Structure 1
């Protein structure tokens, strides 16, 4: 063999066509690079061969293969290797199954970076690659803050407040800030101190509690908005506000006095609301009564005018007769509304008989007592009535007698 027939880049003994191949001869081919290169050109690597070489190295042979060690390996090892690999793949796939609850959302991170958000139900993830962090988006969480704070009038007051919130965006809740709950707690404390610092102590302890709540809620939303923490503030509850223990009794008295003031004001307003409709009803009743009386007087006057107009021709025909008739009618109307007294005079003595009083006494007697002389007066009753009339109506009777003796046209 000449030097021209040899490959200058080949290892010694590899280009000799007469030299037989010896795969176990390590000086000839230590790395086996040319053999593997030929195998890659012919077919893909054999999994059984790779797995077998791995077992030989684990057996303590230092990566060297010889015929003696090959005979000690199990004969069925190459057949079990694919089954073991397939089983490992199945177990790895099953281990990636997970369930997200109804009230939760799963935040998926791939190699520590946000990848996606999964919905409730059965899901799968590649193990050792993806990680799922469940976040409850329906639970209402409560945050409590309290502390001694300085008011606008430089007084100390102890305030307690609770904040109710829930997660709105799971991804922002986990990754926008380091700890969203702690950040919200600090923002609440800052907003509350800002509001308390702009109000007086009397307002905080008495009438300004609702104002503190509304202002704290508004300020808290403005504080957390730039951080975009993915949380939603549902409600802010102002629990209590207490003055320092040294002046607590005096503030309690002041608060009680203000509460009494508000109670009296509400009672007065209730009384006013109760009496106002009654007064309006009475006023309306009086107005309607006056209106009815006015209408009555006007109608009576019109009727009297109409009656006198009809009597006018008769008056012109016989004035004396019509004048006497009008006098009699007027006296009938007047006498029907005055008490009646019967007079009987004999000599210098005047006997009076009060008929109205007698009739009134008879009407007041019980109806259950029957009387044989009903409708008539006994002699004793007449005597007593006459005596009473003489004693109590002497002067009036004398005047009535003088009036009765006068003429009709005085």
Structure 2
């Protein structure tokens, strides 16, 4: 019996000392405190928004960046999403570190005139509603990609190939964006579409592409010439209208000037005529002398009496140049020599 008991393994003896017990308790408390702090505090980055779930249901969203507090797990948990960050998905190709790979099942589609076209696009988006984004769609990126492809094919199928690869690219791009926004609103995905940009819209490769490229170049040259002609028209017509208006204004000014001059001449003539009616002889003589002064400003004028056969001469210029004494002497001599001449000269001076 003693041999049998000796073969049974003996249990190890655990000797718990007070120091070990205290260290273990402290370690458990520290671990619990660390776990509690880790599950209680959380940090939200600049481009993130956080959804606070209480027993699995969203009860609060936090949009302010920084350190925040919540109840410990499993009462509350946090889901952080890059809601502010602009995200991009590509349609029709993939960009893997600069290596471009075409995805034909996304890029190829049929136009309204039953031609095949290849369309590559980039969709820019962000999260506008965290709750809808988390619970209304299972795979947000896959849903967005499929809805973008559906929107592009819907719009492209309503337009002709020639229009799509030429001047209609911008219009189609805007319609695709509107269609994609409608789909996100319809299904409450919580996704906000910022922009849709087409990279290429062209027929499949080969001779068809070359032919359409020539058509596109010809249409661009046509549009360039039309724009140049419109520019020339917009530059020439206003200039011609300005010149015509300037000529009209000058003619109108000349017209008014001549009218005013004519009215002034009429008023002057009427004034002279009224004086002529009062004293015809004086007015007549004055007009003759004034006319002579205008047409002969530097001429020497001699006044004489031609009533007799003898020509009588009165040297007025010499009298004007000489002094008053000489003028008086000359006047006296002239008066003594010819009384009738003096009378005529005096009359002529009075008329002047």
Which band: TM-score by shorter chain? 0.5 to 0.7
Aligned with 1:244: secondary structure? coil
Q: Does 1:104 align with 2:48?
A: yes
C-alpha spacing 1:228/1:309, structure 2 compared with 1 (3 Å): closer
Aligned with 1:226: secondary structure? helix
Q: How far is 1:104 from its partner?
A: 2.2
Match of 1:47 in 2: none
Q: Does 1:297 align with 2:258?
A: yes
Instruction: State how far apart, in whole Å, the 1-side matches of 2:265 and 2:28 are.
Output: 126
Match of 1:6 in 2: none
Aligned with 1:138: secondary structure? coil
Aligned with 2:186: secondary structure? coil
Match of 2:223 in 1: 262
Q: How far is 1:92 from its partner?
A: 2.8
Which aligned pairs between 1:391-406 and structure 2 lie closer than 5 A?
A: none
Output the TM-score relative to the length of structure 2: 0.62
Match of 2:17 in 1: 76
Q: CA RMSD in A?
A: 3.7
C-alpha spacing 1:93/1:128, structure 2 compared with 1 (3 Å): farther
Q: How far is 1:247 from its partner?
A: 1.5
CA contact (8 A) 2:127 2:191 kept: yes
Q: How far is 1:252 from its partner?
A: 1.6
Q: Does 1:142 align with 2:82?
A: no
RCO higher in structure (CA 8 A, sep ≥6): 2
Q: Does 1:93 align with 2:42?
A: no
CA contact (8 A) 2:58 2:131 kept: no
C-alpha spacing 1:256/1:316, structure 2 compared with 1 (3 Å): farther
Instruction: State how far apart, in whole Å, the 2-side matches of 1:305 and 1:236 are.
Output: 80
Q: Does 1:114 align with 2:54?
A: no
CA contact (8 A) 1:105 1:117 kept: no
Who wins on radius of gyration, i.e. which is larger? 1
Instruction: State how far apart, in whole Å, the 2-side matches of 1:297 and 1:157 are.
Output: 74
Instruction: State how far apart, in whole Å, the 2-side matches of 1:128 and 1:173 are.
Output: 23
CA contact (8 A) 1:144 1:160 kept: yes
Match of 1:10 in 2: none
CA contact (8 A) 2:48 2:85 kept: no
Q: How far is 1:293 from its partner?
A: 2.2
Structure 2: tracts of 5 or more residues without a match: 1-7, 93-106, 296-352
Match of 1:35 in 2: none
Instruction: State how far apart, in whole Å, the 2-side matches of 1:272 and 1:224 are.
Output: 47
Q: How far is 1:73 from its partner?
A: 4.3
> Deviations for 1:24-72, whole angstroms, at most 9, x for unmatched residues?
xxxxxxxxxxxxxxxxxxxxxxxxxxxxxxxxxxxx99xxxxxx989x5
Match of 2:346 in 1: none
Q: How far is 1:314 from its partner?
A: 5.0
Aligned with 1:277: secondary structure? helix
Instruction: State how far apart, in whole Å, the 2-side matches of 1:187 and 1:167 are.
Output: 16
Q: How far is 1:133 from its partner?
A: 3.3
* Matched residue count: 261
C-alpha spacing 1:317/1:114, structure 2 compared with 1 (3 Å): closer
CA contact (8 A) 2:84 2:126 kept: yes
CA contact (8 A) 1:107 1:132 kept: yes
Aligned with 1:153: secondary structure? coil
What is the aligned counterpart of 2:245 among 275, 284, 304? 284
> Deviations for 1:79-138, whole angstroms, at most 9, x for unmatched residues?
755653453243133134154232223445567x23545644154664577654321112
Q: Which range moved further: 189-198 or 119-128?
A: 119-128
Instruction: State how far apart, in whole Å, the 2-side matches of 1:128 and 1:299 are.
Output: 103
Which aligned pairs between 1:304-383 and structure 2 lie closer than 5 A?
A: 304-309=265-270
Q: Does 1:226 align with 2:186?
A: yes
Q: How far is 1:265 from its partner?
A: 2.2
Q: How far is 1:155 from its partner?
A: 0.7
Output the TM-score relative to the length of structure 1: 0.54
Aligned with 2:159: secondary structure? coil
CA contact (8 A) 1:92 1:127 kept: no
What is the aligned counterpart of 2:173 among 202, 213, 224? 213
Match of 1:392 in 2: none
Instruction: State how far apart, in whole Å, the 2-side matches of 1:236 and 1:75 are.
Output: 70
CA contact (8 A) 1:100 1:106 kept: no
C-alpha spacing 1:125/1:286, structure 2 compared with 1 (3 Å): same
